[in-house]
Amino acid sequence: MAGHLKKQLKDAVKIISSGSLLFASYLTVVGDERFYANQLMPLLQRIVGAETAHVLAVKMIGLGLVPLNCYQDPASLEVKVLGLTFKNPVGIAAGFDKHAEAVDGLYKVGFGFVEVGTITPKPQEGNPKPRVFRLTADQGIINRYGFNSCGLEEAQLRMKARDATRQQLSRAGLPLGINLGKNKLSQDAGADYLEGVRALGSLADYLVVNVSSPNTPGLRNLQGKAELQQLLQRVLKERNALQGEFKPPVLVKIAPDLTAQDRQDIADVVTELGVDGLMVSNTTVSRPETLRDPNKCEVGGLSGQPLKDLSTNTVREMYSLTKGKMPIIGIGGVASGQDALDKIRAGASLVQLYTALTYQGPPVVTKIKRELEQLLEEQGFSSVSEAVGADHREEKGMICKCSSQQKTVTVEKDVASLAALSSS
């Protein structure tokens, strides 16, 4: 009797285990947002190191092994900017698909645009490992990769092989951006960027000049006014010399750790030279006092939720300094529809994410788009473009209203004073 009961219990455990596995597999395939964010991703983070997880994610997405995505982008999420059409405003930031190995899989996840790189002229290994650290308690990441890159030659071959697909997807509202950088030991940073433009310019829908990674010695010095002006003059000239009718827009990716004068200088330079847009922002070397994770003291660039407010404020200031005439892509801490809308209202036409993918998995993309669609409707915007810079317009309206009220009060006081004088 006891033996029979024991066998029944074993069978029951097997059935329950099999059922749980099947159910977990189902949730994985259909892309259940809560399952990924609360169960699957935390489990994977406990058993797989940060960089290994990154490499595996790129490989799996590159093979097209992504959750089902049934969400249809509504017309309200379409954005026309930089001379391009974006089916939705949510892109994958540079740093995830460094070697352009998972482009088509990333579109399958639901991104409205993909940015690959940073790609340097010569292949380089980057900084020594370990160089990626999760700040789970803070929903952030510190990395000091240091532009590990396959180099221009390999990237060019890979992207040439799918260039017909790129052009087709671009026409369908799914552009491709290429992020360019310099080699660590290069003596001529400008020459490195020019080489990147020549090799990859014709294979991109837009190009990014990355002068803001904190993990390449001396790179951020290129954000200085004179250095940036000289660099961008050369890059734009090289871009204009590319063969073919289409000349890809050139954007500059800047750091969030800039002084007020730095930001003003950058705004002046990009406006004067006619740069097409700004990427705001890269990772930060600052460490907010609110950080709780033991990894908070690691050296490198901090991304994710701890960067969110700093990057949004930088978006807001750059929009103001460029008088709302410079398209901005907002990056840093985007993990929800509200996060995306905050950056859009601050002045971003598009947004990018990366760290949120680490903590919530591929379903986070659909979640952000669905929430953004709902928020736009609730706040009375018919499109993303209508919401771009809304905070500035509201602020201006408040100032005008206050000024008008003050004038009214002054007039009333003057009338009262005249009445008092007349009665006396």
Active site residues: 213
Amino acid at 73: D
86 and 78 Cβ atoms separated by less than 8 Å: yes
Burial class (CB in 10 A: 0-12, 13-18, 19+), 275: buried
| Torsion over CA: 243, 246, 247, 250 (sign) | negative
**Which two tokens mark 393?**
């317009």
**3-state SS class at 252:** strand
216 and 176 Cβ atoms separated by less than 8 Å: no
Nearest to 94 by CA among 176, 216, 191: 176
Q: Backbone phi, then psi, for 398, in 5-degree steps? A: -65, -40
63 and 55 Cβ atoms separated by less than 8 Å: no
Rounded distance between C-alpha atoms, residue 69 and residue 108, angstroms: 7
Rounded distance between C-alpha atoms, residue 375 and residue 380, angstroms: 9
340 and 172 Cβ atoms separated by less than 8 Å: no
**3-state SS class at 85:** strand
